[in-house]
Structure 1
């Protein structure tokens, strides 16, 4: 069986490591589209055919409720793909965007969840197969999913916010399983310009060690598990 062909919807703005990080973690053929710059794949055909087996929606520096034309187009596309049964995985901003576009609600938390955080699983979802009941992942967000779409299941969370959900073959994770240590340090440094207090930035940077980052290995399994979902989906949307 050939490797799955995944469409990466890169919603990050400007030059970022988003594409590099996702490509490193996905054992699949990946075609990236810089959706924040108006790059989109062809729309699914009238017969439901589409040349990709699944979708990953990246993080972004924007808010999902910003009024941007590319977000409107992306919203229409992910709704169509969800209705076709194409497996999708949203990461951080992507998690929030999928939740919002499928009928949920996202809003400002009034604070940042920043750093290495412990996450508790609530559900035996295929997305978390062979993962522990609690695991560590890196977080950086100030918005959260306040209400899930109708019919969605909350898969994981912590004292701060919903950390994962599923709605059929559509999944979202609030944390960043794709981050390497370099990205963690880069992102945390950038929070100085966003008004995060210097002492908090320094505290998170001090924790960003190879040993601490190694604790996020379990979180990375969501990529392997997502590809297993892609390969098991009976709906043949990809072009022959």
Structure 2
């Protein structure tokens, strides 16, 4: 039976990118469509106040990336935090990427803030540790496309780090078999990453922009991380 995944969108794409990429929810649908585990998806844009109907149930809830700060005071972020805490306390499985990764860490007792390291963009490499049963296919190191200026600076007490680097020490973590989060963007493709960097070129600065654009010659493990996420959702604690 296919997995039922609710994608909680926390942003809308810039107008000039909508025709080609549609939405973050659609990017995740395209990512997961390439995985061996069958699933179907419902997308709700929570930034616009759209939530699942009361009583509707899913195998997991995925919180996407966003231009917003996870530690921001926007009313929609406060509403989302209450909703996610309710899901967590009910025992639902939660997935987070970038903003979602940071928001869940913050919500569950960690800390997220503007990173002293500055912007991270382009291809980034991470060390892997604490291998779990759902991390298959196995990798020695992880490579992902990134786009963030905020980071998790303290993990929730019961979280386990699974990917790290000097630039981003808490790049991926899980909390038992319930929460799995990544700072990087498995749903991104090179062209979308380049489009974002072009838009932000002035704020990134010439040196960082040039390095990040050059890094795009490398491949990344987004598809494998997508499979890990689906395996994590399907994984049952024995």
Normalized against structure 1, the TM-score is what? 0.86
Gap runs ≥5 in structure 1: 235-240
Gap runs ≥5 in structure 2: 34-38
User: Quick check: 15-24 or 73-82, which moved more?
Assistant: 15-24
Instruction: State whether structure 2 residue 158 is matched by structure 1 residue 159.
Output: no
Deviations 1:143-189, CA, capped at 9 Å, x for gaps: 11111112111111001121101112111101111111221111111
Deviations 1:81-122, CA, capped at 9 Å, x for gaps: 122222111001110011111111011113111121111112
Instruction: State whether structure 2 residue 109 is matched by structure 1 residue 103.
Output: yes
Structure 1 CA distance for aligned equivalents of residues 134 and 206 of structure 2: 36
Structure 1 CA distance for aligned equivalents of residues 115 and 229 of structure 2: 28
1:183 aligned partner: 192
Structure 1 CA distance for aligned equivalents of residues 77 and 53 of structure 2: 16
Alignment of 1:1-240 (within 5 A): 1=1, 3-15=2-14, 17-27=23-33, 28-43=39-54, 45=55, 50-110=56-116, 111-161=118-168, 162-168=170-176, 169-193=178-202, 195-209=203-217, 212=218, 215-216=219-220, 218-233=221-236
Change beyond 3 A, Cα 1:229–1:135: closer
Structure 1 CA distance for aligned equivalents of residues 101 and 53 of structure 2: 22
Once the two structures are TM-superposed, the CA of residue 66 in structure 1 deviates from its matched residue by 1.0
Structure 1 CA distance for aligned equivalents of residues 146 and 103 of structure 2: 16
Name the SS of the counterpart of 2:187 in structure 1: coil
1:237 aligned partner: none
For the Cα contact (< 8 Å) 2:12–2:24, is it kept in 1?
Answer: no
For the Cα contact (< 8 Å) 1:120–1:158, is it kept in 2?
Answer: yes
Deviations 1:50-108, CA, capped at 9 Å, x for gaps: 42111111100010111111111111111111222221110011100111111110111
Structure 2 CA distance for aligned equivalents of residues 157 and 177 of structure 1: 16
- For the aligned residues, what is the CA RMSD? 1.8
Structure 2 CA distance for aligned equivalents of residues 29 and 126 of structure 1: 23
**After the TM superposition, which parts of structure 1 deviate over 3 Å for at least 4 consecutive aligned residues?**
13-17
For the Cα contact (< 8 Å) 1:126–1:225, is it kept in 2?
Answer: no
Normalized against structure 2, the TM-score is what? 0.86
Structure 1 CA distance for aligned equivalents of residues 13 and 216 of structure 2: 24
